[in-house]
């Protein structure tokens, strides 16, 4: 049996998250709450503690930067800890490490500081450094007072030795951790230990022992409610069965993995959309209050004007002219605002109508496909079930991309998107995005070619750039024919300070009227062609907006019916060190 490459990588990411110990323990929570009450007069510090305990990381970072009493020894370490933990939760490792290192060694939660620094070192693949932090915690006899589990600490130490290729030492720590977890009957930690032990045996080509622990992890996951654990164990079993040649079983586990993945994403999206709706309602109420306040001030000014006008006839004349012009100006502003509001409402109604139709069509198609799967399952027609499952995956992926675009569009309207530009490898980002489409490409027999040189660097925000590539590549695949080709490459005529590249496909193309509408800002499409939805145009408008925020743009769109589409994009080059 071949070694399972993807299993080890997935396990490492999960363990790094699991053992970060981001769940509040009562001792830390009570201590932070107490210190916040004691220094309640320092408003910024009090708000920082509250936002931190509410896990509102962005607000914690903003309010903590306004504190001018950092020299106060009583709260200095708490401020650095709040900032460091917030940066760590947002995966900003360098900033997090800088704040953690500013905490004094006498801090009450020094062991947790060391634990978090060890997690950062793991994230940076500095395993010897991480091992040093964990060993210092292990040498501290009182580390358990900070609610650090010894089993988790031993497992992390074993993980470090594993990546340092000290397999026997890693195995020793893994089983020490496992023994503690079995006594404590901690199912979540047991699952992660089983998977790490299985991965260790795979490194030694001990397939029989490895598969035994992967199965134990999968069986144990049935007794927990954490969807991430269920998702991870199903993924591992899918890869195991693929390597064993059990394609039907592998497809069963992979379908289970996709279901848990969709469930986790849908849960997060529901909460995020609900939070956006709540904030929007509050903003609308605040606008009404501000409008009433402005109207009251205008009425008071008008009464005062008439009072002084009664004393001075000349003043009355000038005052009358003044208020008349002021009224006209206000009426124009109100009229413009009313027109803008009507236009926004019309756009919202149109968007809701289009999205509702798209989702209804996708759900109906998914419903019919599931009925066919049940019939094929009863008749043991597994070949047909495989194609139907792939079709379901395509439908689900398309619906998820639509919901993801709506969420990012809403976050952009409310300026809630986190944005940080940095130097990134363009080719690697393309590879990361296209990885999620490999099964769809195989199903449609579409060839994707990434010809962008690996050394090409651009200065962009990585998350917004992935949104752009997901939408463009998704559209290229959606409208490609069977056996089509999609390619991304650099242009010969490069512009100073910009990287010019193109994404080109051999799909069905677009008519001129659709191209003209796509070039307009905030224009949505509703046309259909041969029962294939052309789309809402929301994803393309989102792409233009994200590129503009990164100081880039779509410079050219070429498309011909039944020949293909070519889109040229400019992005700023990497920042040179001065």
**What's the rounded Cα separation, in Å, for the pair 158 and 194?**
13
pLDDT at 489 over 90: yes
Could you tell me the pLDDT band of residue 359, with boundaries at 50, 70 and 90? low
Instruction: Read off the pLDDT of each residue in 511-516 and give the average, rounded to a whole number.
Output: 82
pLDDT at 13 over 50: no
pLDDT at 169: 85
pLDDT winner (highest mean) among 8-22, 244-258, 395-409:
244-258
Write down the mean pLDDT value for the chain.
77
pLDDT at 259: 79
pLDDT at 141 over 80: no
Could you tell me the pLDDT band of residue 431, with boundaries at 50, 70 and 90? very high
Q: Could you tell me which of 408, 483, 404 has the C-alpha nearest to residue 441? A: 483
Mean pLDDT check: name the lowest of 169-173, 283-287, 356-360, 524-528: 524-528
Neighbours of 321 (CB within 10 A): 10
Q: How many residues in total does the chain contain?
A: 578
Angle separating helix axes 73-89 and 93-100, nearest 10 degrees: 160
Q: Is the sign of the CA dihedral 307, 310, 311, 316 positive or negative?
A: positive
Mean pLDDT check: name the lowest of 265-279, 431-445, 471-485: 265-279
pLDDT at 19: 37
pLDDT at 402: 62
Q: What is the DSSP string of 429-487?
A: HHHHHHHTTHHHHHHHT-EEEE-S-TT-EEEEEHHHHHHHHHHHHHHHHHTPPTT-EEE
Domains of the chain: 5-226 (1.25.40.10), 299-406 (no CATH), 419-572 (3.30.565.10)
Instruction: Read off the pLDDT of each residue in 513-536 and give the average, rounded to a whole number.
Output: 59
pLDDT at 213 over 60: yes
pLDDT at 275: 58
Instruction: Read off the pLDDT of each residue in 206-229 and give the average, rounded to a whole number.
Output: 79
pLDDT at 114: 87
Each residue of 52-94: pLDDT tens digit? 988 899 888 888 887 755 567 778 888 899 999 999 988 888 9
**What's the rounded Cα separation, in Å, for the pair 427 and 449?**
11
pLDDT at 401: 66
CB distance 144 to 150 below 8 Å:
yes
What are the residues facing 553 on neighbouring strands? 570
Q: Is the sign of the CA dihedral 361, 364, 370, 375 positive or negative?
A: negative
End-to-end Cα spacing for the chain: 52
Each residue of 102-138: pLDDT tens digit? 988 888 888 888 888 988 998 888 888 988 888 888 7
Q: What is the DSSP string of 112-143?
A: HHHHHHHHHHHHTT-HHHHHHHHHHHHH-TTG
Write down the pTM of the prediction. 0.43
pLDDT at 527: 46
pLDDT at 142 over 70: no
Could you tell me the pLDDT band of residue 11, with boundaries at 50, 70 and 90? very low
pLDDT at 569: 92
pLDDT at 357 over 60: no
Three-state SS at 555: strand
pLDDT at 242: 80
Two structure tokens written together for 482: 């069977």
């Amino acid at each position: 049996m071949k070694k399972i490459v993807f299993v080890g990588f997935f396990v490492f990411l999960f363990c790094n998250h699991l053992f970060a110990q981001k769940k509040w323990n009562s001792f830390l929570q009570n201590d932070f709450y107490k210190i916040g009450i004691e220094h309640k007069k320092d408003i910024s510090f009090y708000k920082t503690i509250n936002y931190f305990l509410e896990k509102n990381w962005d607000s914690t970072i903003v309010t903590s930067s306004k504190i001018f009493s950092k020299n106060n020894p009583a709260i200095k370490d708490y401020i650095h800890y709040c900032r460091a933990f917030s940066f760590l939760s947002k995966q900003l490792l360098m900033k997090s490490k800088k704040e953690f290192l500013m905490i004094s060694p006498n801090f009450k939660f020094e062991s947790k500081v060391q634990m978090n620094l060890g997690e950062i070192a793991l994230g940076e693949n500095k395993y010897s450094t991480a091992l040093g932090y964990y060993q210092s915690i292990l040498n501290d006899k009182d580390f358990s007072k900070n609610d650090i589990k010894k089993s988790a600490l031993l497992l992390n130490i074993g993980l470090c030795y594993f990546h340092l290729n000290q397999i026997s030492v890693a195995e020793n720590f893994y089983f020490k951790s496992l023994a503690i977890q079995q006594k404590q009957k901690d199912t979540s930690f047991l699952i992660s230990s089983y998977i790490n032990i299985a991965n260790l045996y795979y490194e030694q080509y001990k397939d029989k022992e490895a598969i035994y622990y992967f199965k134990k992890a999968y069986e144990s996951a049935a007794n927990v409610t954490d969807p991430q654990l269920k998702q991870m164990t199903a993924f591992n079993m899918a890869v195991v069965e693929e390597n064993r040649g059990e394609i039907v079983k592998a497809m069963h586990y992979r379908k289970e993995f996709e279901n848990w993945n969709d469930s986790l994403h849908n849960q997060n999206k529901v909460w995020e959309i609900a939070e956006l709706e709540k904030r929007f309602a509050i903003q609308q109420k605040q606008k009404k209050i501000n409008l009433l306040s402005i109207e009251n001030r205008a009425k008071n000014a008008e009464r005062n004007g008439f009072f002084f006008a009664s004393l001075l006839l000349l003043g009355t004349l000038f005052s009358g002219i003044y208020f008349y012009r002021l009224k006209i100006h206000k009426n124009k502003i109100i009229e413009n605002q009313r027109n803008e509001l009507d236009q926004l409402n019309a756009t919202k109604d149109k968007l809701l109508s289009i999205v509702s139709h798209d989702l209804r069509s996708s759900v109906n198609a998914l419903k019919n496909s599931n009925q066919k799967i049940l019939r094929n399952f009863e008749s043991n027609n597994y070949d047909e079930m495989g194609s139907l499952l792939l079709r379901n995956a395509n439908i689900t992926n398309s619906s998820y991309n639509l919901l993801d675009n709506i969420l990012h569009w809403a976050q952009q309207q409310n300026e809630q998107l986190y944005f940080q530009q940095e130097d990134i490898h363009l080719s690697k980002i393309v590879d990361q995005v296209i990885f999620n489409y490999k099964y769809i490409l195989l199903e449609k027999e579409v060839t994707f070619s990434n010809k962008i040189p690996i050394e090409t660097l651009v200065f962009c925000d990585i998350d917004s750039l992935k949104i752009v590539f997901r939408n463009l590549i998704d559209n290229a695949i959606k409208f490609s024919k069977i056996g089509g080709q999609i390619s991304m490459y650099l242009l010969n005529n490069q512009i100073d300070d910009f990287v010019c590249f193109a994404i080109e496909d051999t799909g069905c193309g677009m008519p001129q009227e659709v191209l003209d509408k796509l070039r307009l800002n905030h224009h949505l499409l509703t046309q259909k062609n041969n029962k294939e939805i052309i789309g809402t145009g929301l994803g393309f408008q989102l792409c233009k907006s994200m590129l503009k925020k990164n100081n880039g743009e779509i410079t050219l769109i070429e498309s011909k019916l039944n020949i293909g589409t070519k889109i040229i994009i400019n992005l700023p080059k990497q920042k040179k060190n001065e």
